[in-house]
Amino acid sequence: MPVKPRHRSNLLLHTTADTAYTFVNPESFNKLLRLWTLGGSKGEWFVSESRLVDKWACSPICPAWFENLFRRPVDSTSLALVASEPHKNHAETPVLRGNTAEGGPRILIVDDDPGQRSLLNSFLRSQGFETSLADSGERALEMLRSGNFAMMISDVRMPGLSGLETLRRARQEPRTAGLPVLLVTAFTDIRDAVAAMRDGAVNYLAKPIDLDELLNSVRQATGLSKAVPLQYNEEKPLPDFVVARSPLMQTVFRDASLIAPSETRVLITGESGVGKEVVADVLHAWSLRAAGPMIKVNCAAIPETLLEAELFGHEKGSFTGAHARRIGRFEEANDGTIFLDEVAEMSPALQAKLLRVTQDGRFQRVGANREIHTNARILAASNRNLEDEVKSGRFREDLFYRLNVVELNVPPLRERREDILPLAGRFIEEIAKGRARFSDTVTACLERYPWPGNVRELRNAMERAVLLSRSELILPEHLPTRVRAAADNPPPPETADVERLAEIERQAIVQALRQHDFNRTETAKALGISRRALLYKLQRFRELGYQVE
């Protein structure tokens, strides 16, 4: 949280979320601030994209001047602006320099996407680093000339100066010739260009960003090469409706605790019925928008002809049956979160309109000419592999990268068997009002069945069992036939067998890592498991003392 400047020659203006403004041209605004200072001396300004809610920051000094200067509303964040006048007796005066965490190496984050900046900013601060933000390569070069940074993280594709050109120009400046630079790219057609620059950049990461890889790259580049585990936000308890006993699901929600405070878009992937909507609920509950609305839209459940009006609203008479104006779900989600489930079911035409909303938050109601702005955070989910959908031409590549700023993969229930009995018990308690219990045979059936329908199938089975049971004891005959047959499956292997299997698995994973140059995304694909499952296994190997890097 920024600190209020103590020196009265400092000018501070803060606009909260309901009265937020932005400026058209950073260069012209910089010149205006240098001309308009209290004592006629030069000042400096900084922009923070933190979503600030305190109201102490509103300065009584000529607010109307700023009211006339700012015109367009901010897309998804509030702005805080500081013009500070250096003073020899007030060198300790705090100045707002974006979101910073005290004491760690200072990192410059460069990206034209506010969501990506917000993600990197909140994550690196949670790991103890200081951060400063730039929305363009031009602005980044200005900040590099005047500030001291331990590292720069830059997107590759940006309007104006690209990340590659920003890197080249930074290398030409004596002050920043040796600055470690990490490049981030989403588009596969520029990966060769990034690889060619690796003699100048310390590394590059592909979007969606793997937070473990990001942290390792940053620590190595800033000289903090000692292995330190990811620092999770342990102050956020899981809501009562969430069951996460398995290490895999605990890791998912720990990642969610790092992502939730940012404004970034999140793509939640996983098989049908694994609980993607539950993860979306937790992200909203842990976010700074928790007091705002949480709007959910199942894109597969609404006919294609009606989905556009459902999302964006419509004017009276815009189509047959439109007897009155109706606001859309994006308007309802203003200052909150909108969850687009099964987003891959959208038609190409509607995907193009969704792309516009992800870029600047603007859209038009069906049958209207006036643009509307929404300040809604977008969470999307799909049970399809969107990368395959992009390759087949069924899903827009640019929209995929806009939605997939960060990915949370929810593992299937068969990979997190520690959750089966707690989930079943929760469902029984809810449906039977706590008056039912399992026989030992039922417990064996539940644990041995593979649950191809995941959590949704488990809930349906428990509902059936409660309806068929005439007592408080759930017996095998109350379960579906396919679940009951699982009792005939062989029991889990003995401990010695488990240890031998674990060693075989470890050797197979290490061999696959070496074959793919320790690229964890490609290794996970080759092994046929999710990247999150691979990361969990690697973490377990480290805890057991094995070297896996």
Question: How many Å apart are CA 165 and CA 193, to the nearest integer?
Answer: 11
**Structural domain includes residue 65:** yes
**pLDDT value for 190:** 53
Pick from 414-418, 478-482, 505-509: least confident:
505-509
Per the structure, the complete domain to which residue 171 belongs is given by 106-221
482 located within any domain: yes
Q: 433 and 406, same structural domain?
A: no
Task: Give long-range contacts, CB 8 A cutoff, 24+ apart: 314-319.
Answer: 314/365, 314/366, 314/367, 314/368, 315/365, 315/366, 315/367, 315/368, 317/367, 318/365, 318/366, 318/367, 318/368, 319/366, 319/367
Strand locations in 147-198 (E):
151-155, 181-185
Local confidence band at 103 (pLDDT 50, 70, 90 cut-offs): low
391 and 257, same structural domain? Answer: yes
Q: What percent of the chain has pLDDT over 90?
A: 34
DSSP letter at 190 equals: G
Residue 494 reports pLDDT greater than 70? no
Residues 300 and 387 in one domain: yes
Same structural domain, 305 and 400:
yes
Q: What pLDDT, on a 0 to 100 scale, did the predictor assign at position 10?
A: 31
Residues 68 and 38 both lie in one domain: yes
Indicate the average pLDDT of the chain.
Answer: 76
Phi, psi torsion values for 385, nearest 5 degrees: -85, 105
For residues 294 and 401, membership in a common domain is answered with: yes
What pLDDT was estimated at residue 295? 96
**Mean per-residue pLDDT, 422-449:** 88
Distance CA 125, CA 100 (A): 6
pLDDT at 69 over 70: no
More confident residue, 281 or 523: 281
Q: Is the pLDDT of residue 73 over 90?
A: no
Do residue 154 and residue 54 come from a single domain? no
Residue 98 in domain: no
For residue 340, the model assigns a pLDDT of 97
State the virtual CA torsion across 14, 19, 24, 30 in degrees, nearest 10.
-10
What pLDDT sits at residue 232? 54
Helix or strand (DSSP H, E) at 15: strand 11-15
Residue 36 has pLDDT above 70, yes or no: no
Instruction: Give 153 or 95, the one with higher predicted confidence.
Output: 153
Q: Do 331 and 273 fall into the same domain?
A: yes
Residues 113 and 132 in one domain: yes
* Position 115 confidence tier, pLDDT thresholds 50, 70, 90: confident
- pLDDT average, residue stretch 477-492: 80
Q: What is the mean pLDDT of residues 348-360?
A: 92
The enclosing domain of 534 has a CATH number of 1.10.10
Residue 153: what pLDDT? 93
Mind listing the pLDDT tens digit for each residue in 191-215? 545 544 554 667 777 777 778 778 8
Residue 543 pLDDT grade (very low, low, confident, very high; cuts 50, 70, 90): low
Place 490 in a pLDDT band, splitting at 50, 70 and 90: low
- Total number of domains constituting the chain: 5
Q: Does residue 422 or residue 38 have the better pLDDT?
A: 422
Among 81-85, 167-171, 190-194, top mean pLDDT goes to 167-171
Indicate whether 231 pLDDT > 70: no
Structure token pair of residue 244: 């996460």
pLDDT of residue 100 exceeding 60, the answer is: no
In this prediction the pTM is 0.67
Task: Please state, in angstroms and rounded to a whole number, the distance separating the CA atoms of residues 278 and 410.
Answer: 10
Clarify whether residues 199 and 319 are in a common domain: no
Residue 212 included in any domain:
yes
Same domain, 436 and 538: no
DSSP 28-71: HHHHHHHHS-TTS---EEEEE------STT---S-HHHHHHH--
Task: Return phi, psi of residue 297, to 5°.
Answer: -130, 120
CB atoms within 10 A of CB 243: 22
**Does residue 204 share a domain with residue 278?**
no
182 domain-assigned:
yes
Q: Give the residue from 204, 221, 238 where a domain finishes.
A: 221
- CATH code for the domain of 357: 3.40.50.300
CATH of the domain at 215: 3.40.50.2300
CA of residue 44 relative to chain centroid, distance: 32
Q: What is the pLDDT of residue 265?
A: 93
Whether the pLDDT of residue 379 is over 70: the answer is yes
Locus of tokens 């920024």: 2
Residue 493 has pLDDT above 60, yes or no: no
Distance of alpha carbon 128 from the chain centroid: 19
Where does the pLDDT of residue 360 fall: very low under 50, low under 70, confident under 90, or very high at 90 and above? confident
In the block, residue with structure tokens 């969430």: 242
Rounded to a whole number of angstroms, the distance between the first and last alpha carbons of the chain is 37
Domain presence at residue 232: no
pLDDT computed for residue 56 by the predictor: 27
| CA distances, 248 to each of 14, 73, 313, 505 (Å) | 42, 41, 39, 17
Could you say which of 411, 435, 459 is where a domain stops? Answer: 411
Mean pLDDT of 416-441: 89
Q: Tell me which residue of 404, 443, 396, 427 sits closest to 521, measured CA to CA.
A: 404
* DSSP result, 61-120: S-HHHHHHH--SPPSSS-EEEEEE---TT-TT-----SS--TTSPEEEEE-S-HHHHHHH
Per-residue model confidence (pLDDT) at position 203: 74
Residue 84: band (very low, low, confident or very high) from pLDDT cuts 50, 70, 90: very low
DSSP sequence for 420-469:
HHHHHHHHHHHHTTT--EE-HHHHHHHHHS--TTHHHHHHHHHHHHHHH-
494 DSSP assignment: P
Is the Cβ–Cβ distance between 167 and 181 less than 8 Å?
A: yes
**Per-residue pLDDT band at 81 (split at 50, 70, 90):** very low
What's the sign of the alpha-carbon dihedral 231, 235, 239, 245?
positive
Supply the pLDDT for residue 505: 82
